[in-house]
């Protein structure tokens, strides 16, 4: 545990998992996986608050993380930049209560804190580790997809 709690992010993840009553996984990838589920769904669900189903939220956030990660040194983007990335994903997940990109981003920000607002119109992941984790999940689930790169900012 001491080696896992070496960074504030990992310590936060461990605290969230402990709070949820689940045991700590042995591998970091499993730790991040569990934390994403807790942040998106379980944290709010257990407290009878609105939540984003983790499986559906991940379906939208994975390509977003991949897109950001595909741009060297890029960790944030405006709603306008993200709309073409998550719009098609939102159409493919009609079970989500939020269908407009801006509303989905606001909901993730307000309900989970996983994808946070840097300003009124700019968003980034709580920590680059979550961006990297979800981008890697995207590559694993969509191995044939090529990066949708946008030059500049």
Q: In angstroms, how far is the first alpha carbon of the chain from the final one?
A: 40
The whole-angstrom separation of Cα 2 and Cα 70 is: 33
pLDDT at 112 over 90: no
Quote the pLDDT of residue 121.
Answer: 82
Q: What pTM was computed for the model?
A: 0.82
Q: Report residue 145's pLDDT band, with 50, 70 and 90 as the boundaries.
A: low
Q: What is the DSSP letter of 51?
A: -
pLDDT at 146 over 70: no
Short-list 94, 34, 18, CA closest to 60: 94
Q: What is the DSSP letter of 142?
A: S
Q: Where are the alpha helices (DSSP H) in 70-142?
A: 79-92, 101-111, 128-141
Per the prediction, the chain carries an average pLDDT of: 84
């Amino acid at each position: 545990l001491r080696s896992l709690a070496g960074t504030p992010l990992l310590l936060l993840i461990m605290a969230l998992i402990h709070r949820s009553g689940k045991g700590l996984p042995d591998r970091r990838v499993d730790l991040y996986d569990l934390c994403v589920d807790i942040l998106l769904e379980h944290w709010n669900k257990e407290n009878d608050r609105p939540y984003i189903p983790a499986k559906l939220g991940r379906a939208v956030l994975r390509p977003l993380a991949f897109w950001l990660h595909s741009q060297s040194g890029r960790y944030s983007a405006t709603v306008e930049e993200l709309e073409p990335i998550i719009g098609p994903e939102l159409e493919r997940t009609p079970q989500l209560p939020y269908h407009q990109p801006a509303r989905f981003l606001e909901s993730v920000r307000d309900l989970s804190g996983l994808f946070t607002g840097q300003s009124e119109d700019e968003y980034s992941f709580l920590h680059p580790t979550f961006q990297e984790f979800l981008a890697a999940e995207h590559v694993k689930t969509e191995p044939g997809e090529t990066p949708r790169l946008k030059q500049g900012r």
